[in-house]
């Protein structure tokens, strides 16, 4: 058994720094590169891409990234784990094998984890007695079944562990939890039992710290953000894990950013609910047990983590189409910038009303004044305001109303209050609104499947 392993975060979402994974494999030693590509909205985008072309449906950044990093990963024996397979892990793996062939590699084992995509199994699942009731409203999925864009089960670490046990160099999954990507190599290397919930919780907490990339190594830091050095060349976080569940969060020395008590604790608090009840498919981690010690030198020790048994369900995330939205903006300058923006808003609303359009919501915000903190914002005298961006957004089931709204923004320049600019890029176009349907499914209704693809 290895004495320790170093797991590096390479991506916090699809659209994150393109060069981050490359820097993680080149700027120092690591054993695993883990990349989270999937936000809830990503699955519906990928499903739409796959509907148009059955070969797509995965994070398209992956094949070109692999072309850059595979020779290095092979040489340094770095394994890559990612959920960027989206709704087509197999298609992604096939492209990666093509890339491997192209750059002259002769052996590469790529594993895929399948079975999370239940979009075509909804009827069968309802028949088996699970109506995928909305976790927030309790409503049966039947009401949105015909509008479904995607439906995926969140798998945990164990399918990836199976892939690693079978010798995979690269593991590409669909909807695996972000935390499972980091936990899996620890289970694999340290032979942790699926019943040792304290250890599984430790790996899960490490995964939570790594899952948002640079957000644990100096990015988006509210505490003393000005002290963070060289964010331009930020090093993403690395977990140096030990068999007893202790781990250090650190980063490559030569890269920028910072790892400190503050950077790690802020990330620990990010997007959590009840801290005693951090539910994953693998365990229920207790965040009130976590101990942190800042060792200095960009090293934070995380230890003593406790947890409990997993729940009998997997979480399911479904997305469905729910009307249209659009937003437009204009910028008004001093003098009386705020009054002008407010007047323009009134005029626009009156015009929309006269046109007899239908909206579920019209929202007006004054950017530069109170769009972030609303009533908590400091009240300013008009003379102190240099400029205000008026932002108006609408949502409706009626496409034509939203489209017509888009045509009413630009005319305000010549037919509304003065000293206005900032209308570029054409009319705001309606975009479809994708809504979410969170649900639970008994674990026995879905089976993860691990397949190994090898070079021919």
Partner 1 sequence: MKIKLLDIAHGRSGDKGDAANVGIIAYDDKGYQIIAKHLTVDSVKKHFEGICLGEVERFELPNLRALNFLLHNTLGGGGTVSLKHDAQGKTLAAALLRMEIEVDEI
Applying CB under 8 A, among 13, 22, 242, 270 the residue interacting with partner 1 is 270
**Region from 19-27, 180-188, 361-369, 414-422 binding partner 1, contact rule CB under 8 A:** 361-369
Q: DSSP state, 91?
A: H
Residue 201 touching partner 1 (CB under 8 A): no
Q: How many residues bind partner 1 (CB under 8 A)?
A: 49
- Choose between 1 and 222: whose C-beta lies nearer to partner 1: 222
Using a CB cutoff of 8 Å and minimum separation of 24, what contacts does 221-230 make? Answer: 221/258, 221/262, 221/263, 221/266, 222/266, 223/262, 223/263, 223/266, 224/262, 227/258, 228/256, 228/257, 228/258, 229/256, 229/257, 229/258, 230/255, 230/256, 230/257
Residue 372 touching partner 1 (CB under 8 A): yes
- Choose between 103 and 372: whose C-beta lies nearer to partner 1: 372
Residue 1 touching partner 1 (CB under 8 A): no
**Region from 30-38, 112-120, 147-155, 367-375 binding partner 1, contact rule CB under 8 A:** 367-375
In the window 276-305, what residues touch partner 1 (CB under 8 A)? 276, 287-292
- Choose between 158 and 287: whose C-beta lies nearer to partner 1: 287
Residue 147 touching partner 1 (CB under 8 A): no
Residue 231 touching partner 1 (CB under 8 A): no
Residues found in the chain: 456
Residue 273 touching partner 1 (CB under 8 A): yes
User: Cα–Cα distance between 17 and 213 in angstroms, integer?
Assistant: 9
DSSP-derived pairing of the beta strands 79-82 and 32-35: parallel
Contacts of 385 (CB under 8 A, 6+ apart): 334, 337, 338, 368, 369
- Choose between 188 and 395: whose C-beta lies nearer to partner 1: 395
Residue 208 touching partner 1 (CB under 8 A): no
**Region from 92-100, 264-272, 343-351, 448-456 binding partner 1, contact rule CB under 8 A:** 264-272
- Choose between 169 and 211: whose C-beta lies nearer to partner 1: 211
How does 404-429 read in b/e, with b if 16+ C-beta sit within 10 Å?
bbbebbeebeeebbeebeebeeeebe
Ramachandran region, residue 77 (left: φ > 0; alpha: ψ -120 to 50; beta: rest): left
User: Cα–Cα distance between 433 and 323 in angstroms, integer?
Assistant: 5
Q: Which two tokens stand for residue 292?
A: 């942190």
Rg (alpha carbons) of the chain, rounded to whole number: 25
In the window 322-341, what residues touch partner 1 (CB under 8 A)? 322, 325, 327
User: Cα–Cα distance between 190 and 182 in angstroms, integer?
Assistant: 13
Applying CB under 8 A, among 1, 120, 146, 269 the residue interacting with partner 1 is 269
- Choose between 246 and 371: whose C-beta lies nearer to partner 1: 371
**Region from 3-11, 26-34, 165-173, 319-327 binding partner 1, contact rule CB under 8 A:** 319-327
In the window 76-135, what residues touch partner 1 (CB under 8 A)? none
Summary count for the chain: helices (H), strands (E): 12, 19
Applying CB under 8 A, among 22, 436, 445, 452 the residue interacting with partner 1 is 436
Q: What angle do CA 151, 155, 156 make, to 5 degrees?
A: 155
Residue 40 touching partner 1 (CB under 8 A): yes
Q: Is the peptide bond before 43 cis (omega within 30 degrees of 0)?
A: no
User: Cα–Cα distance between 233 and 19 in angstroms, integer?
Assistant: 10
Q: DSSP state, 419?
A: S
Residue 413 touching partner 1 (CB under 8 A): no
Applying CB under 8 A, among 268, 343, 413, 452 the residue interacting with partner 1 is 268
Q: Give the residues lining the site for partner 1 (CB under 8 A).
A: 40-41, 136, 220-224, 262, 265-276, 287-292, 322, 325, 327, 361, 363, 365, 367, 371-376, 391, 393-395, 433-436, 438
């Amino acid at each position: 058994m290895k004495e320790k392993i170093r797991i590096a975060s390479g991506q916090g979402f699809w659209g994150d720094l393109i060069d981050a994974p490359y820097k993680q494999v080149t700027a120092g030693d690591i054993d695993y590169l883990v990349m989270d590509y999937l936000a809830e909205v990503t699955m519906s985008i990928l499903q739409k891409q796959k509907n148009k072309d059955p070969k797509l449906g995965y994070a398209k950044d992956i094949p070109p990234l692999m072309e850059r990093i595979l020779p290095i990963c092979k040489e340094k024996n770095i394994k890559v784990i990612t959920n960027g397979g989206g709704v087509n892990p197999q298609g992604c793996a096939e492209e990666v094998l093509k890339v491997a062939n192209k750059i002259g590699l002769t052996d590469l084992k790529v594993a895929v984890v399948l079975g999370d995509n239940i979009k075509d199994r909804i009827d069968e699942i309802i028949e088996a007695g699970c109506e995928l009731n909305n976790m927030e409203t309790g409503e049966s999925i039947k009401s949105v079944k015909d509008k479904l864009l995607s439906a995926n089960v969140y798998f945990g670490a164990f399918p990836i562990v199976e892939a690693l046990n079978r010798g995979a160099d690269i593991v590409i999954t669909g909807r695996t939890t972000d935390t499972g990507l980091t936990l899996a190599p620890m289970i694999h290397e340290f032979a942790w039992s699926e019943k040792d919930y304290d250890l599984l919780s430790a790996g899960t907490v490490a995964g939570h710290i790594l899952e948002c990339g640079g957000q644990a190594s100096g990015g988006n830091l509210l505490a003393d953000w000005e002290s963070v050095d060289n964010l331009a060349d930020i090093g993403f976080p690395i977990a140096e894990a030990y068999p007893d569940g202790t781990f250090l969060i650190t980063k490559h020395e030569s890269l920028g950013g910072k790892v400190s008590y503050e950077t790690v604790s802020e990330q620990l608090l990010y997007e959590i609910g009840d801290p005693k009840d951090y539910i994953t498919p693998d365990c229920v981690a207790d965040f009130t047990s976590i101990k942190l010690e800042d060792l200095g030198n960009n090293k934070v020790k995380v230890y003593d983590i406790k947890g409990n048994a997993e729940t009998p369900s997997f979480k399911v995330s479904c997305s469905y189409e729910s009307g249209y939205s659009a937003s437009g903006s204009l910028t008004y300058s001093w003098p009386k910038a705020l009054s002008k923006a407010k007047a323009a808003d009134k005029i626009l609303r009156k015009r929309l009303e006269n046109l007899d359009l239908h909206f579920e919501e019209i929202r007006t915000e004054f950017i530069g004044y109170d769009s972030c903190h609303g009533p908590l914002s400091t009240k300013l005298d008009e003379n102190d305001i240099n400029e205000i961006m008026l932002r108006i957004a609408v949502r409706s089931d009626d496409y034509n109303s939203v489209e017509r709204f888009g045509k009413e923004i630009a005319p305000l320049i010549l037919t509304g209050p003065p000293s206005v600019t900032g209308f570029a890029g054409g009319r705001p176009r309606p975009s479809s609104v994708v809504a979410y349907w969170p649900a639970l499914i008994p674990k026995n209704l879905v089976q993860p499947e691990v397949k190994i693809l090898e070079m021919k």
